Structure 1
Amino acid sequence: MSAPRIGIMRVVSGLDEPLELAHQQLLTPLLKGAKLATRALPNQPEGIHDARTLALALPKIAELGEKWQAQLDFLLVSCAADPGIKALRQSLKIPVLGAGESCCKIARQYGQVIGVLGIEAQLPEVFNEQLSDCTLIYRQPDGVNCTHDIRTQKGQNAIIEAALACEQAGAKVIALACTGMATTDVASLLAPYTSLPVINPVLAAGELISQHFDL
């Protein structure tokens, strides 16, 4: 069997090359034998963090998916809000996976009380859909309103505080509802402060893709 071709769609534009390829680099050890490629949405410098940026992104997601599918066997939308996933699954002829759905599926393996950290005022809807039978404790770290805030010292301090608040509220696992927290490796950031498992949405997607192709 030829190596599966897996596309990684990034929803933030204007990153330098190491940051744009960060999710591909995370997935490479998990998906040995696959051919990975990354493309980013155009003119989306803030990524997706509210209704306005989501509305701007949706037609770009649909267009990129349509143009790219002939070169792929599988598409990962590397955003934990899973924007445009349902529409892509209806329109494309290849499997499509979202980082948010992936994060949920792995997080539920660790318990029914799940702390979730995100960058929006409200929990991404995919988490409510996928984890409707779980107790969700959602925290948006103070001052962390878009993916760029995650890389600041102030943002990282706020992420630590939010994770500890989830733990104090009874969470048994922390799910990261923003793939920017995968880029910055928030799991490693939190390791000295909590013993709870922290679910990286990009690595969660990699685990599910690996199972799909039996890699």
Structure 2
Amino acid sequence: MAKKFKVGLVRVVTIHDEEMLNLHGRLLEQYYPELEVESKCILNQPEGIHDEATELLAVPKIVDLAKVWEGIEALIISCAGDPAVEELRKELKIPVVGGGEATALLASHYGKKVGVLGITEVVPRAYARTFGENIVGTCRAEGVNSTLDLLTPAGRTAVIKKAKELKALGAEVIALACTGLSTIRIAKELEKVCEIPVIDPVMAEGLLTYFACLRRE
């Protein structure tokens, strides 16, 4: 039997339902059977991170949560904004992977012109740093202001509409910029609609984490 790598995963939205809390971890275990994922979430952020103010609130919570986490070989911050990733790389002796940087890195393999699709007005840092002027259009799907909106039929419809707009603007690949889009498992649907690659953040963060774990053996 292949070795299982024990990985911690931080959800940056407060979740009380165990099934929903562990959803990203279960997806990762399906994609990469060698990973064994334990998920935890930060407190008092029911709408997660969707702007600078909510990120500032979240960063110290993520750092405090991660610093006392024992028995893991890598840590994933399952958020496209990569909150606390740089801080934790200075604090921890294990690999720390952010959902945003992983998605941007993988998307860069599939095209030069990139549509970034998420829930924020501002493109997350890793995407802006990686693609710069090659980003087409704007980021936020209309009417989607937090990860909770993605769970509604209207939110899903808005995301599909936005993806079509980005394709029409010349996007060769769409990089999803919210892990809530992984929660609703919309990447494959967008690929069928737009007929271009769509990079799922949870799948991307898992790929980098698995590689990081292999390197440490």
TM-score w.r.t. length of structure 2: 0.92
Q: Secondary structure at the match of 1:36?
A: strand
Runs of 4 or more consecutive aligned structure 1 residues displaced over 6 Å after TM superposition: none
1:114 deviation in Å?
Answer: 0.6
Match of 2:56 in 1: 55
Moved more, 27-36 or 117-126: 27-36
Structure 1 residue identity aligned to 2:52: A
Aligned: 1:172 with 2:162? no
Change (3 A) 1:27 1:164: same
User: Contact 2:82–2:98 (CA<8 Å) still a contact in 1?
Assistant: yes
After the TM superposition, which residues 35-184 of structure 1 pair with which residues of structure 2 at under 5 Å, given as runs?
Answer: 35-68=36-69, 70-132=70-132, 135-137=134-136, 138-184=138-184
Q: Percent identity?
A: 38
1:3 aligns with 2:11: no
In structure 2, what is the Cα distance between the partners aligned to 1:12 and 1:160?
Answer: 23
- Deviation per CA, 1:44-85, whole angstroms, max 9, x where unpaired? 1110001221111011011011011x3211000000110111
The answer on whether the counterparts of 1:46 and 1:147 sit within 8 Å (CA) in structure 2 is yes
Distance in 2 separating the partners of 1:44 and 1:78: 15
5+ long unaligned stretches in structure 1: none
Aligned length: 213
Gaps of 5+ in 2: none
Give the secondary-structure state (helix, strand or coil) at the position aligned to 1:139. coil
Q: Does the residue aligned with 2:15 lie in a helix, a strand or coil?
A: coil
Q: Secondary structure at the match of 2:63?
A: helix
Aligned to 2:31: 30
Give the superposition deviation at 1:211: 2.3
| Structure 2 CA distance for partners of 1:85 and 1:123, relative to 1, 3 Å | same
Whole-Å separation in 2 of the counterparts to 1:139 and 1:151: 18
RMSD (CA atoms): 1.7
